[in-house]
Structure 1
């Protein structure tokens, strides 16, 4: 055991509860996890009027653990929220049992869905948006350094804590909760300045994470399997996560700590790892795989669109706050053939994620929405394609109608072809042939046929003109 003050059971201070004897005290701290407290002890039979300390506990109940050395100096060990509290009475001996989590657990309750998109959004902006929902919060950002997101990032059905861990993994870093202070305190990654300890423990264990090395090596964040050697030992020295320890002539970092009372002495079991092995592999949100999010088109160009999403309350109204995403077409080919039919501004759309990586998302067609003209969507046998500019193609079982405002062409199975317009109809070609058993040309006021300098005009009379007229 390393030299230094040895805290014993009598040095432990607990607020607001009073124990006659502590039976169990364990505090577990680990990167990317809430710090956990397990506490049990014997209390007076008259404590808090018997069972009232359990009855009065609510969602805001807190507990604080500290220690006091022989000089009277107090060191805080844990300050957090009670998650479970119970009193057990056996032979008139009452045992109070408490489980608690550090205050970052407040960020791990409510599931949220929202998107972060835009050319100028930094990771720090996302951190600030997350933190703005909580009071008494302090975050130290050691990782982002002004870096901007390169693709849309979507928090989908995740708590803020889950989302923060995923964001930190983009930098191969972890989230480190601070369990010794009141309020929500945490850091993204580790700082450059970290306390250095030199320890020489004779009782220890050593293991090697071979499978972990294989996984991280495949992701390009592991160089050598030697870095995945893990040491574990027990000491009375109190250290923090990520503290640097000179052990066995290697500089290692505290990855996990388990503080516990053993035989009346407060001891700490540490897991030490190489800094390169502590790197976190990139996390993905598997819950978003196969999900379609409703949205509206902000703008289109070429074969990409910008979308304002329903999960954001359609709050994105400017192109600068949105990202271009591909639009899925029915079919396409490298030579440019295929179906090109882009949506228009304001159209309903869905953003589809084929897998757990948001960067692979693309826009697809929308489900049917309520229409002001119900008849247009009342008959499944009638297919239609229309634009907001009054252009429409309607394919019914017996006909095809091509409509452009007040101009209509109808191809009818039983009635032939009809063309209707409220303005002129013009046909132009090097050669036009009209052939039929009977040809009828009607004009309400006049029918006029012209060829070069010759013409025939039919009104109430027939007028013919030309350099030479032959009749028989």
Structure 2
């Protein structure tokens, strides 16, 4: 047990100005920024300087004689100063520096399923100078995508830690951004067994699923300055500091700790409700059966060891992947749709970019036309009375009609070739006719030199031997 700290031993440093504290309240909870509310005094002449020129850094120390013990360090978010009787009374509200992670709403997608939980958390923390994080969750591959949608880094880390039943615990006694992610097995010796304490059981319906240990908590007051998430032994039981409330009572600093069993510190898994119904846009990079990989506009990673495969929503398919198969190719635009708040349920769908006024012959202008078209011009058009197969931006097509006719068209003076390793037959039923027409001439020849040429009303035959029956 440490000696009690009185208000006379408290030193509040606002920037470079030292203030005398006479009222104090500090609140700390998992997943939230530590907050300090303080009333202090300074010289009256320092009022303008404190309001307009002093920086927002604040630190509270306890004078332990041989050393100064840190109690709270952070930044001021609200402050007012008033001149009273030759003194300047200052009321301020401050938060831990973890608040800096809760300012900007961001959109990122982490697609590397081989990325471990520690790598994910460290990749977020790396953008904050003077930050440190002690991570106590399993360092295993994510095995899924992680989507940060309209979330601050602080909210994203809290949510991802809930996947492991863990919380984030800011340490208000340390400078910079200092956090614990998950619960440590290291134990802090306290010697609180002789103190008065209160036992409480939270048996509300929303906590009914928890075992009895998860519903129990102990409240004890002590002079020690310990951070959130620390384990200690209290009356022979391993408990964790889950809440802290520090305040001045009759001029003495009192720290009220709420202790929980590990089961009571578990955070239920939750998802991002803003993700429901959202689409992310990108480009297909790989296709494998009915799944695709995609480079998204908001990718957080340049390289992936094992990029996530999205199921692709095809027109129709059988359970084994056979049947109708309509998949994009690499380079095609794609849209990743998230139907629920869980990113694991996301799937890929086709993406039509831009807007235009369709022509009269465009399938978009006529809902009765059912066409399947590719960007390079290949397509199948379900026309009235038949089917038309086209290639090369409609430079050639074959039409099969319901009455059994087949028509081949070649546009822009392109050649039409019919090739076969065997024989080519043109046959009709009895009484039928075979008709061939051309604008200039019809020519039939073989590799041996035989030739039949029809021009206008003239037929010319050329061969080493011509037989006429």
Give me the whole-angstrom Cα distance separating, in 1, the residues matched to 2:164 and 2:37.
Answer: 32
Instruction: Report how far residue 430 of structure 1 moved.
Output: 9.1
Instruction: Report how far residue 149 of structure 1 moved.
Output: 1.4
Match of 1:246 among 233, 237, 242: 233
Give me the whole-angstrom Cα distance separating, in 2, the residues matched to 1:366 and 1:386.
Answer: 14
Is 1:201–1:233's contact at 8 Å kept on the other side of the alignment?
no
Select between 375-384 and 123-132 the one with higher mean Cα deviation.
Answer: 375-384
Structure 1 residues 244 and 334, CA gap change in structure 2 (3 angstroms) = closer
Give the structure 2 partner of residue 452 of structure 1.
Answer: none
Q: Deviation string for 1:84-105 (max 9, x for gaps)?
A: 1112467887531111111111
Structure 1 residues 295 and 33, CA gap change in structure 2 (3 angstroms) = same
Structure 1 residues 431 and 410, CA gap change in structure 2 (3 angstroms) = closer
Give the structure 2 partner of residue 37 of structure 1.
Answer: 36
RMSD between aligned residues: 3.8
**Which segments of 5 or more consecutive residues in structure 1 lack a partner in the other structure?**
450-454
Structure 1 residues 26 and 466, CA gap change in structure 2 (3 angstroms) = same
Q: With structure 1 as the length reference, what TM-score do the two structures score?
A: 0.81
Instruction: Report how far residue 32 of structure 1 moved.
Output: 2.0
Give me the whole-angstrom Cα distance separating, in 1, the residues matched to 2:170 and 2:205.
Answer: 23
For the pair 1:433 / 2:428, whether they are aligned, the reply is yes
Give the structure 2 partner of residue 7 of structure 1.
Answer: 5
Structure 1 residues 121 and 200, CA gap change in structure 2 (3 angstroms) = closer
Give the structure 1 partner of residue 203 of structure 2.
Answer: 210
Instruction: Report how far residue 278 of structure 1 moved.
Output: 1.0
Match of 2:328 among 319, 340, 343: 343
Instruction: Report how far residue 190 of structure 1 moved.
Output: 3.0
Structure 1 residues 88 and 410, CA gap change in structure 2 (3 angstroms) = farther
Q: With structure 2 as the length reference, what TM-score do the two structures score?
A: 0.82
Give me the whole-angstrom Cα distance separating, in 2, the residues matched to 1:211 and 1:374.
Answer: 64
Give the structure 2 partner of residue 126 of structure 1.
Answer: 120
Give me the whole-angstrom Cα distance separating, in 1, the residues matched to 2:71 and 2:281.
Answer: 47
Where do residues 28-427 of structure 1 align in structure 2 (5 Å cutoff)?
A: 28-44=27-43, 46-48=44-46, 50-56=47-53, 61-69=56-64, 71-88=65-82, 94-145=88-139, 147-200=140-193, 203-211=196-204, 214=207, 217=209, 222=210, 224-312=211-299, 316=302, 320=305, 322-334=307-319, 339-369=324-354, 380-381=365-366, 384-394=371-381, 401-405=388-392, 406-410=395-399, 418-421=407-410, 422-425=415-418
Structure 1 residues 400 and 119, CA gap change in structure 2 (3 angstroms) = same
Structure 1 residues 374 and 261, CA gap change in structure 2 (3 angstroms) = farther
Classify the secondary structure of the residue corresponding to 1:198: coil
Instruction: Report how far residue 203 of structure 1 moved.
Output: 4.0
